[in-house]
Amino acid sequence: MGKIGSWYYSLEKPQSRMMKILQIINRVPWPLKDGGALGYFNYIKGYHDAGCDVTIAALNTSKHFVNMDELPEEVKKMADWRTSYIDNKVKPLDAFLNLFSNQSYNIQRFISKQFEELLTQLLHEKQFDVIVFEGLFVAPYLDIVSKNSNALMVLRQHNVEYKIWETLAQNESNPIKKCYLNLLTKRLKNYEINALNQFDALTTVTQNDLNDFENMGCTKPIFSSSTGMDISRLKVNHTHIEVPSVFHIGSMEWLPNQEAMLWFIKNVWNKILEKYPNLKFYIAGRGMPDSFKQMHIKNVVMLGEVEDAIMFMQSKQIMMVPLFAGSGIRIKILEGMALGKTIISTSLGAQGIEVEDGKHLLIANTENEFINAIEKLILNPQLAIDLGKNAHALVDEKYDNTKVIARMLNFYTEQINTT
């Protein structure tokens, strides 16, 4: 157990004084059908379970709109939920006009006068110890929040955001689109660098991202804390598993996931299918583009959003993560590991997770490496089982939400006591 100031955090009991936390989020983290929602929600639940008084201020976006009346009662009770609708769809005219400014269009889509008013009213009603800005897209609200609160202001960075767009630009073959992506990257990078030292403290989900932010000039206290997993809701169940089978699940509106699937289908799938003509590849995830739904590729099943993501994952064998863009941590990999799944991932996809190639999963970075890894697992079912067991044990040991949250709360307390 650690004691810092007036708060105590341990794995056995909650703190002696209730910490009041406000999380500002660029979407309502429900339902739990993608890594983004899980990443936010697990912290909400973790703070609540640790005895904190949690308030959520979230943009209820057109892209991820949630009817708050339909939120399950047990979720409503975890926090005081305050939301404001925003139409954040990409609009061609707005995107075109943005070219003649020096603003990041990625950021501008999340700015709302109504949300500013919501935050102002909320901060007049309640006082907080810590205000967590969940990602760069809510960083524009720092000014209005700082004017109305003396709380510790923390920016929680889930990725080095500009790097995602930088990689997409590098991989783009269309010269016009490449030029536009480079412009988005440049403006987002400038905004990200300028934002780092505006907050009292910064947290990341991987050590790699922490190092990147320090190299980008962050001089504020910075702490790396992985996303935790709610082990209680993730059960290993091989009762109805299809063996062999290959699957991918993730937000299909996220460009790096789209690029990953297109690469895998083009470079790997047909070749592995020649050797194993009965093998099926299932692709699941919310926001699947029509271009994917309209694909007709042998033994590729485009499911789109599934009703129960955990049940879907339990029913399939080999999880594919052929990711070549992005930073941060892949929450779906952690979720798959907790479920005892056999996983094949690129080095980038697995970054930030303390895995060992050949023990917890298989690393593949080229088409031949992916083909060889799939074949190895098909020919050696026991290896697939052992990898899943080891993966589950690792998550239980290092990524249990209770342990992750305790470390984060102690970091907050240290910063409060030194400011």
pLDDT, tens only, 273-331: 999 999 999 999 988 999 999 999 999 999 999 989 999 999 999 999 999 887 667 88
Q: Measure CA 55 to chain center.
A: 20
Same domain, residue pair 393 and 406: no
The predicted model gives 245-268 an average pLDDT of 93
Q: What per-residue confidence (pLDDT) applies to 373?
A: 98
Same domain, residue pair 273 and 156: no
Same domain, residue pair 162 and 107: yes
Question: What percent of the chain stands above pLDDT 90?
Answer: 69
Same domain, residue pair 61 and 199: yes
Same domain, residue pair 104 and 165: yes
The terminus-to-terminus CA distance of the chain in angstroms comes to 23
**Strand, coil or helix: 290:** helix
Same domain, residue pair 392 and 404: no
Same domain, residue pair 17 and 106: yes
Same domain, residue pair 324 and 409: no
pTM, entire model: 0.78
CATH number for the domain spanning 251: value is 3.40.50.2000
Mean pLDDT across the chain = 90
Query: CA 27 to CA 180: how far, in whole Å?
Result: 26
DSSP letters, 319-368, are EEE---S--S--HHHHHHHHTT-EEEE-TTTTTTS---BTTTBEE--SHH
Same domain, residue pair 316 and 405: no
Count of the separate structural domains present in the chain:
2
The predicted model gives 195-201 an average pLDDT of 96
**Which structural domain, as residue segments, surrounds residue 201?**
2-228+400-418
pLDDT of 4 above 60 = no
Summarised one tens digit per residue, pLDDT across range 377-412 is 999 999 999 999 999 999 988 898 998 999 999 999
Query: CA 304 to CA 133: how far, in whole Å?
Result: 30
pLDDT band at 254 (very low <50, low <70, confident <90, very high): confident
Question: What percent of the chain stands above pLDDT 70?
Answer: 95
Summarised one tens digit per residue, pLDDT across range 154-169 is 999 988 888 888 888 8
Q: What per-residue confidence (pLDDT) applies to 38?
A: 84
Same domain, residue pair 306 and 320: yes
Same domain, residue pair 168 and 254: no
CA distances from 294 to 5, 76, 282, 300, 372 (A): 58, 38, 15, 11, 29
Same domain, residue pair 283 and 204: no
pLDDT band at 5 (very low <50, low <70, confident <90, very high): very low
- 3-state secondary structure string across 17-70: CCCEEEEEECCCCCCCCCHHHHHHHHHHHHHHHCCCEEEEEEEEECCCCCCHHH
Q: What per-residue confidence (pLDDT) applies to 15?
A: 45
Q: What per-residue confidence (pLDDT) applies to 227?
A: 83
Summarised one tens digit per residue, pLDDT across range 81-137 is 999 999 988 888 877 777 778 888 889 999 999 999 999 999 999 999 999 999 999
